[in-house]
Amino acid sequence: MGSGMARRLLGAGFPLAIHSRNAEKTAAFQAEGAIAAPSYREAAAHADAVVSMVADDGASRQVWLGDNGALAGAAPGTVLIESSTLTVEWLRALAGHAGARGCQLLDAPVTGTKPHAASGELTFLVGGPAAALEKVRPVLDAMGRAIIHLGPAGSGALLKLINNFLCGVQAASLAEAVALVEKAGLDRRKSFEILTNGAPGSPLVKTLFARMDARDYTPNFKLRLMAKDIAYAIAEGKQHALDPVTAPAALRVFQQAIAHGDGEKDLSAVVEQFRTE
């Protein structure tokens, strides 16, 4: 995701400094015209906007607050854009750290997968100050097709967690449905045409079914990251006096898939645990 976003910025003519834990990725972007910074701190040192796209809260803390973190290098007035799928609690804490530095934070997670990032078709779900959003709107425009401002800090993060838990529940139920069709000996082609073209056939179901049918689990969205997002959503629900039922059930299905050895595959691999029983 981050690679596609960075290439969109380069293609739009933005001067770009990058730092990645993956030295090969850093070298590739340097060859394309980016400045290879030796640390997050130095990548942020001369930037008007700093964008982070990482896996989870722990990685985000390391980017912003770790040794040579980006926040230490950011000048007052810099807008920090956190596009990872993270907890609301951490995003609000990070907004506090940013404010103490004289910076502003936007939580701006995205909907879409790696192909959407590469083609600039992401949708940004933004929480944080409206003035900060307007300041960096051209940056987000270069990477996405839509920018939706949802309210104060944490608003974008919360809706992204809700979005992903709903996707995870659909994926888990689809996996069981596909396995039931196969184990019961129903006509696969006719059954799947009805399921994907009828009422259950959401865009997500159609996309995941095609991958399940082909057994092509090249990662567009890693299965283990969906499990992480569902767990974050469950915790957030409890913060709002909601005791979720479907999310924990879906999480168990994804955790079983990880135990099955499919955590690094595309989330559509969630079906394989049922096929081998």
Give me the pLDDT at residue 10, please: 97
Q: Which CATH number, 3.30.300.90, 3.40.50.920, 3.40.50.720, 2.170.120.12, labels domain 2-151?
A: 3.40.50.720
What pLDDT score was predicted for residue 21? 84
- For residues 80 and 71, give the distance between their C-alpha atoms in angstroms, rounded to a whole number: 8
Q: Which of 160, 222, 228, 265 is catalytic?
A: 160
User: Can you tell me the distance from the alpha carbon of 3 to that of 57, in angstroms, rounded to the nearest whole number?
Assistant: 19
Element of type H or E holding 49: strand 49-52
Phi, psi (degrees; rounded to nearest 5) at 104: -125, 140
CATH T-level assignment (fold) for domain 158-275: N-(1-d-carboxylethyl)-l-norvaline Dehydrogenase; domain 2 (1.10.1040)
Percent of the chain past pLDDT 70, that is, above it, reads: 99
> Tens digits of per-residue pLDDT, 63-109?
999 999 999 999 999 999 999 999 999 999 999 999 999 999 999 99
The answer to pTM > 0.85 is yes
CA-CA distance, 194 to 10, in Å (whole number)? 44
For the chain, what is the largest distance between any 2 Cα atoms, rounded to a whole number of angstroms?
A: 64
Residue 188: count other Cβ atoms within 10 Å of its Cβ: 12
Category of 19 on φ-ψ map: left (φ > 0), alpha (ψ -120 to 50) or beta? beta
168-212 tens-digit pLDDT: 999 999 999 999 999 999 999 999 999 999 999 999 999 999 999
Residue percentage of the chain with pLDDT more than 90: 96
Contacting residues for 249 by C-beta, under 8 A, at least 6 apart: 169, 172
Q: Enumerate the CATH 1.10.1040.10 domain ranges in the chain, comma separated.
A: 158-275
228 is catalytic: no
CATH 3.40.50.720 domain extents, the chain? 2-151
